[in-house]
């Protein structure tokens, strides 16, 4: 999207360079199970400024005094975790890159989460792109004046807090074997924290422990990567560890309730040029006559699961719980990234860190490229120049 950068990059690109890049990315870690795209994104200053402005509008909503009140119904009763704190530690906003009526590139909000993303891996990914390809320093993957050192310092403050690294762990149902395990490994290298599967953690009274070299070490803070949807059908997994819904002596980063509060549930409360018209399905009094221009999304799902792209009146009438769905105007992605074989659609995730007692800070980003009907791995399995990437933004 920065023409000179794109032309220069495409001229130097070869399949051999890409293979060397992937080898460098996986060196010292493990094979990456998700597809990494052949190219970074080159984001012009005008688009960067719109992305920043769009994010600030969303944060204004989240910081409203009544935000918890208006999002209380977002938390399923069966997954309400006690001891919720006053703020999320992570904010991620996904924007599709589109064109506005003036023909300018503009972001449109697709998804939002009060949940962590690849905060460690994106630094490694950007550094590896720079190492393997000739990319000049007129762009940066960081925002808001951050560089690698100041970013790692803030990441450490947010994730470790006042504790020692060995008292903090990144936790998922089977953390070492998750698709995002490389992010856990990079984060461990950056911060020195533990990587624990749910089953590695044992409850004694109200305290949590893990074993290392025959010793029981108390866990003080959990960098939570467990999404409850993944274990909803198998809550027996908690019996051999601990149940997050019980009172336990632990600090959450970020507390699980924020996953629900800041989500698709929040989007109907936003009115902005950067947010497509979004309504709770149970509040739609008249079905739009141009229903082909809308998409139907379940509130409580992730990774695009359950989304109905080509909506019919019958689809709407068949939904038994319309309060748990949103009807959203479709977003038309602009194939703005020029690959050797044509335009590719792009999405940018703006990633914030929110330290205890501080303010949310925009730090870094994540990109995804797509040629399929939707953004996401399962919709792009047969294409090249698609997958996860990072945005280099014009300074």
Helices 148-160 & 181-191, crossing angle to 10 degrees? 100
Nearest-angstrom CA–CA distance, 135 and 338? 17
Number of residues that make up the chain: 395
The pLDDT score that the predictor gives to residue 383 is 85
DSSP string for residues in 122-169: HHHHHHHHHHHS---TTEES--TT--HHHHHHHHHHHHHTTS-GGGEE
Nearest-angstrom CA–CA distance, 328 and 49? 25
Helices 148-160 & 121-132, crossing angle to 10 degrees? 160
177 CB-side CA count, 13 A: 4
Locate 289 and state its tokens. 């006559």
For each of the chain's 395 residues, which pLDDT tens digit applies?
899 999 999 999 999 999 999 999 999 998 999 999 999 999 999 999 999 999 999 999 999 999 999 999 999 999 999 999 999 999 999 999 999 999 999 999 999 999 999 999 999 999 999 999 999 999 999 999 999 999 999 999 999 999 999 999 999 999 999 999 999 999 999 999 999 999 999 999 999 999 999 999 999 999 999 998 788 778 888 998 999 999 999 999 999 999 999 999 999 999 999 999 999 999 999 999 999 999 999 987 765 678 899 999 999 999 999 999 999 999 999 999 999 999 999 999 999 999 999 999 999 999 999 987 667 655 666 789 999 999 999 99
Beta-strand pair 90-99/105-113: antiparallel
Under 8 Å between Cβ of 286 and 267: no
Under 8 Å between Cβ of 253 and 87: no
Place of tokens 């992305």: 51
Helix (H) or strand (E) holding 325, with range, is strand 325-329
Nearest-angstrom CA–CA distance, 151 and 153? 5
The pLDDT score that the predictor gives to residue 230 is 82
pTM for the full predicted model: 0.95
- Which value, to the nearest 10 degrees, does the dihedral of the CA atoms of residues 164, 165, 167, 173 take? 160
| Of 123, 114, 94, residue with least CA distance to 187 | 123
User: Omega before 176 cis (within 30°)?
Assistant: no
């Amino acid at each position: 999207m920065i023409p000179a950068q794109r032309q220069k990059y495409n001229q130097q690109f070869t399949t051999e360079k890409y293979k060397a890049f992937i080898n460098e990315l996986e060196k010292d870690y493990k094979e990456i199970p998700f597809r990494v795209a052949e190219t970074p994104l080159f984001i012009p200053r005008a688009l960067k400024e719109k992305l920043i402005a769009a994010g600030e509008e969303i944060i204004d909503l989240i910081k409203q005094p009544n935000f918890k009140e208006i999002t209380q119904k977002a938390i399923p009763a069966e997954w309400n975790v006690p001891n919720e704190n006053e703020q999320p530690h992570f904010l991620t906003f996904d924007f599709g890159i589109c064109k506005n009526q003036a023909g300018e590139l503009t972001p449109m909000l697709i998804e939002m989460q009060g949940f962590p993303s690849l905060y460690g891996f994106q630094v490694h990914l950007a550094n590896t792109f720079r190492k393997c390809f000739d990319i000049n320093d007129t762009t940066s993957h960081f925002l808001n004046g951050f560089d690698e050192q100041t970013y790692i310092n803030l990441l450490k403050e947010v994730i470790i807090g006042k504790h020692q690294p060995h008292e903090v762990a990144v936790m998922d149902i089977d953390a070492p074997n998750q698709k995002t395990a490389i992010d856990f490994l990079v984060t461990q290298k950056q911060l020195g924290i533990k990587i624990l599967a749910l089953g590695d953690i044992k409850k004694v009274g109200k305290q949590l422990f893990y074993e290392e070299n025959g010793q029981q070490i108390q866990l003080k803070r959990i960098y939570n990567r467990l999404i409850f949807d993944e274990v909803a059908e198998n809550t027996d997994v908690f019996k051999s560890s601990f149940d997050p819904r019980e009172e336990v002596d632990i600090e959450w980063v970020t507390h699980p309730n924020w996953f629900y509060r800041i989500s698709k549930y929040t989007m109907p409360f936003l009115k902005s040029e950067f947010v497509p018209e979004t309504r709770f399905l149970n509040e739609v009094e008249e079905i739009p006559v141009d229903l082909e221009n809308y998409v139907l999304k379940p509130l409580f799902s992730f990774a695009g699961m359950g989304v109905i792209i080509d909506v019919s009146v019958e689809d709407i009438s068949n939904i038994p719980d319309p309060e748990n769905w949103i009807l959203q105007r479709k977003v038309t992605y602009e194939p703005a990234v020029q690959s050797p074989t044509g335009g590719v659609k792009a999405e940018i995730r703006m990633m914030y860190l929110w330290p205890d007692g501080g303010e949310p800070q925009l730090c870094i980003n994540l990109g995804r490229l797509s040629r399929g009907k939707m953004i996401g791995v399962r919709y792009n399995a047969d294409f090249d120049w698609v997958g996860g990437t990072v945005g280099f933004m014009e300074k």
